């Protein structure tokens, strides 16, 4: 399938200008910088699509860089998942890099600032630093340690590195402006002591750079030209620029550009919250099909094409907003509509006996695989004296405008014959045991029969060859109704239903997708599906609640 021509956005407009002015020559270099502390989610997908497709649009490069300057325990599990997710989305990084590989340069950069009198060691406690920082309306107060000599600062920084101080005892701060209206510029901490083993550098360091100091240096070292991040970093941009300008080692320093993060209705995207859902057993893992993680979306059966299409459609804006999750579902439907074959599956089955059909006879009837795409060809489905129809396709006492099966009514069985319901046979408890119908051999599908028309068409599964399967339907994991407009976990978001499928469904393999005719799109669950336990996940139903804006 051909991808649409990428539309421009405000970031591309900036890049166009930079290319015109040869700010970075002809270079466009971006990066996706995840912290390896959780699984990626649909919000990250937006950032991935933006960074990788921007590089691709301009013939540039995009790195995958792990932002691992924080020596908290990172997990190989997360690293593996991040790489699998980026690849699944269809992107390949130019280089895979670790921010922690730049610790030496970052240390040197800090020494450089000290030598220029632009950084100092501060002994204030974390609480005091907070107190001294001031507020949005009041300027901060200068630290009593602000005017230490360069020599003393250099010696102390070396002692910090040598492990002479405990966590929190001393920090290195940039000497900027305690009266700045931007609180981020009020002598921000750039290095702290943390006696922790780092997954990559082990025990080499007991001081670690802060994000706002490390990130611009990481970008500069890699020759990134456009450092794209989310809006909450907008107020940090002056510090980003300050670091690069004052360290001064890079003639064409990268520029930070912020865009609005993706928010979705019925969706929480904080890694911390998602982790809690996993740990509390609310879901069966990071890849639960109800999770907004890329792993969950993949297991659910969404396609990378649909996710990329979604990221393209929502565009890139400078103002925060919340996107209707219906749009994502719409993109999935659009992508699958012409791609997948259909199969007959009935739920809440009702048995139908065709009383005038020869006993023991089974005939194979051709039926199209996809009504929207002839190229997908046709298959044969069995038909016989006993079939199942969907519980929803029969009403003993029909409501108005009900054109499906009811006593006395005739309907078309898709790809088979017209049948008329003559009798409802009940169990002792009053429930329906089976329906007795007759068929009209003249009405065989494809025979060109034009004798009379019927209003309803339903589908069926032949009874003796029916394959029992389970289908899992999902409601949103998160619903409105919490305090302060917050969402809460939906206690009833998973429904497993028994169903009967046509015989071909027995051959379904993990990774395949189908339309279960008139029900929705389904895929075998990659974790639960087996020969004896044919569990299918609902990818998306057929009905769209989402309407394009007029
Ligand atoms: P979370 O808040 O969920 O833990 P994070 O921002 O801490 O996410 P990172 O691993 O630091 O996660 O994110 C990597 C990149 O993905 C960053 O550039 C970040 O801005 C971007 N990103 C994260 N969440 C979203 C989102 N909802 N929409 C767009 N981009 C996002
Ligand atoms: Mg982050």
Q: What is the mean pLDDT of residues 512-521?
A: 97
Q: What is the mean pLDDT of residues 490-510?
A: 97
Ion ligand 2 residues within 5 Å by Cβ: 35
Q: Which of 41, 63, 98, 230 to mutate to test the pocket of ligand 1 (most atoms within 8 A of CB)?
A: 230
- Provide the percentage of residues in the chain whose pLDDT is more than 70: 97
pLDDT band at 72 (very low <50, low <70, confident <90, very high): confident
State pLDDT tens for residues 137-195: 999 999 999 999 999 999 999 999 999 999 999 999 999 999 999 999 999 999 999 99
Q: What pLDDT score was predicted for residue 545?
A: 62
Q: Which of 30, 43, 67, 293 to mutate to test the pocket of ligand 1 (most atoms within 8 A of CB)?
A: 43
Say whether pLDDT at 549 is over 70: no
Question: Which of 161, 186, 271, 290 is flagged as catalytic?
Answer: 271
Q: What is the mean pLDDT of residues 359-373?
A: 97
Q: What pLDDT score was predicted for residue 484?
A: 86
Coil/strand/helix, residue 363: strand
Report the distance separating Cα 83 and Cα 139, nearest Å.
44
Q: For 3-7, 122-126, 408-412, 488-492, which range has the lowest pLDDT when averaged over its residues?
A: 3-7
pLDDT band at 439 (very low <50, low <70, confident <90, very high): very high
Ligand 1 atom 29 nearest Cα: 261
The structure tokens listed for 284 are: 């069966």
pLDDT band at 77 (very low <50, low <70, confident <90, very high): confident
Q: What pLDDT score was predicted for residue 146?
A: 98
DSSP states of 420-435: EEEEEEE-TTS-EEEE
Against a cut of 0.85, is the pTM above it?
A: yes
pLDDT band at 8 (very low <50, low <70, confident <90, very high): confident
Q: Give the closest ligand to the alpha carbon of residue 272.
A: 1
- Give the ranges where 95-210 is alpha helix by DSSP (H): 103-115, 126-132, 150-162
Q: What is the mean pLDDT of the chain?
A: 95
Q: Is 261 a catalytic residue?
A: yes
Say whether pLDDT at 74 is over 80: no
Q: What is the mean pLDDT of residues 313-329?
A: 94
Q: What pLDDT score was predicted for residue 485?
A: 84
C-alpha of 125 from chain center: 40
Three-state SS annotation for 54-69? HHHHCCCEEEEEECCC
Q: Is 35 a catalytic residue?
A: yes
Give one word for 32, left, alpha or beta, with left for phi > 0 and alpha for psi -120 to 50: beta
Ligand 1, residue 270: give the atom nearest the CA. 3
Say whether pLDDT at 7 is over 90: no
Q: What pLDDT score was predicted for residue 445?
A: 95
Q: What pLDDT score was predicted for residue 441?
A: 97
Cα 235 to averaged position of ligand 2 atoms, centre (Å)? 15
- Provide the percentage of residues in the chain whose pLDDT is more than 90: 94
Q: What pLDDT score was predicted for residue 2?
A: 37
Three-state SS annotation for 224-285? CCEEEEEHHHHHHHHHHHHHHHHHCCCCCCCEEEEECCEEECCCCCCHHHHHHHHHCCCCCC
At CA 319, angle to CA 11 and CA 15, rounded to 5? 5
Q: What pLDDT score was predicted for residue 540?
A: 98
Ligand 1, residue 36: give the atom nearest the CA. 10
Q: Is 298 a catalytic residue?
A: no
Say whether pLDDT at 105 is over 90: yes
Name the helix (H) or strand (E) containing 535: strand 535-541
Report the distance separating Cα 172 and Cα 174, nearest Å.
7
Cα 34 to averaged position of ligand 2 atoms, centre (Å)? 7
Report the distance separating Cα 412 and Cα 357, nearest Å.
16
Q: What pLDDT score was predicted for residue 546?
A: 61
Q: What is the mean pLDDT of residues 387-410?
A: 96
State pLDDT tens for residues 286-318: 999 999 999 999 999 999 999 999 999 999 999
| Sheet (strand 29-32) strand order | 29-32, 61-66, 96-98
**Residue 64 β-bridge partners:** 32, 96
Q: What pLDDT score was predicted for residue 5?
A: 46
Q: What pLDDT score was predicted for residue 532?
A: 94
Say whether pLDDT at 272 is over 80: yes
Q: What pLDDT score was predicted for residue 207?
A: 98
Say whether pLDDT at 534 is over 80: yes
Does any ligand 1 atom lie closer than 6 A to the CB of residue 270? yes
**Residue 257 β-bridge partners:** 228
pLDDT band at 544 (very low <50, low <70, confident <90, very high): low
């Amino acid at each position: 399938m051909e991808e649409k021509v990428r539309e421009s956005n405000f970031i591309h407009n900036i890049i166009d200008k930079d290319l015109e002015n040869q700010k970075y020559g002809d270079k466009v270099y971006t990066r996706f910088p995840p912290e390896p502390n959780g699984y990626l989610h649909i919000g990250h997908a937006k950032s991935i699509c933006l960074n990788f497709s921007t590089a691709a649009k301009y013939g540039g490069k995009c790195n995958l860089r792990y932002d691992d300057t924080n020596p908290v325990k990172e997990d190989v599990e997360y690293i593996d998942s991040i790489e699998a997710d980026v690849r699944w989305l269809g992107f390949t990084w130019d280089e895979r890099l670790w921010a922690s590989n730049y610790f030496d340069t970052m240390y040197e950069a800090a020494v450089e600032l000290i030598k220029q009198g632009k950084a100092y060691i501060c002994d204030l406690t974390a609480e005091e630093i907070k107190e001294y920082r001031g507020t949005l309306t009041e300027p901060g107060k200068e630290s009593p340690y602000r005017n230490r000599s360069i020599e003393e600062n250099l010696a102390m920084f070396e002692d910090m590195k040598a492990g002479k101080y405990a966590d929190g005892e001393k920090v290195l701060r940039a000497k900027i402006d305690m009266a700045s209206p931007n609180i981020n510029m009020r002598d921000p901490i750039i290095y702290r002591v943390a006696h922790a083993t780092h997954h990559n550098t082990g025990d080499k360091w007991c001081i670690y750079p802060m994000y706002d100091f490390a990130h611009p240096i990481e970008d500069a070292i890699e020759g990134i030209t456009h450092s794209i991040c989310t809006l909450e970093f907008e107020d940090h941009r002056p510090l980003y620029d300050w670091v690069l300008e004052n360290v001064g080692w890079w003639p064409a320093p990268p520029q930070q550009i912020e865009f609005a993060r993706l928010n979705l209705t019925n969706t929480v995207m904080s890694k911390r919250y998602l982790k809690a859902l996993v740990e509390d057993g609310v879901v069966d893992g990071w890849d639960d099909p109800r999770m907004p993680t890329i792993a969950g979306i993949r297991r659910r059966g969404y396609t990378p094409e649909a996710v990329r299409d979604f990221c393209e459609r929502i565009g890139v804006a400078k103002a925060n907003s919340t996107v209707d999750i219906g749009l994502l579902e719409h993109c999935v439907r659009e992508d699958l509509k012409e791609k997948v074959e259909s199969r007959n599956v009935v739920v809440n089955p009702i048995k139908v006996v065709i009383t005038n059909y020869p006993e023991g006879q089974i005939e194979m009837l051709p039926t199209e695989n996809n009504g929207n795409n002839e190229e997908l060809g046709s298959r044969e489905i069995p038909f016989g004296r006993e079939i199942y129809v969907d519980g929803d396709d029969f009403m003993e006492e029909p409501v108005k405008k009900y054109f499906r099966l009811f006593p006395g009514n005739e309907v078309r069985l898709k790809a088979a014959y017209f049948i008329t319901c003559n009798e409802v046979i009940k169990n002792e408890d009053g429930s329906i045991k089976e329906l007795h119908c007759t068929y009209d051999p003249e009405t065989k599908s494809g025979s060109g029969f034009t004798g009379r028309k019927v209003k309803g068409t339903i589908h069926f599964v032949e009874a003796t060859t029916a394959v029992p399967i389970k289908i899992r339907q999902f409601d949103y994991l998160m619903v409105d109704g919490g305090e302060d407009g917050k969402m809460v976990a939906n206690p009833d978001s998973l429904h497993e239903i028994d169903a009967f499928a046509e015989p071909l469904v027995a051959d379904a393999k993990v990774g395949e997708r189908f339309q279960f005719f008139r029900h929705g799109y389904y895929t075998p669950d990659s974790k639960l599906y087996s020969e004896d336990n044919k569990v299918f996940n609902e990818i998306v139903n057929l009905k769209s609640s989402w309407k394009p804006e007029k």
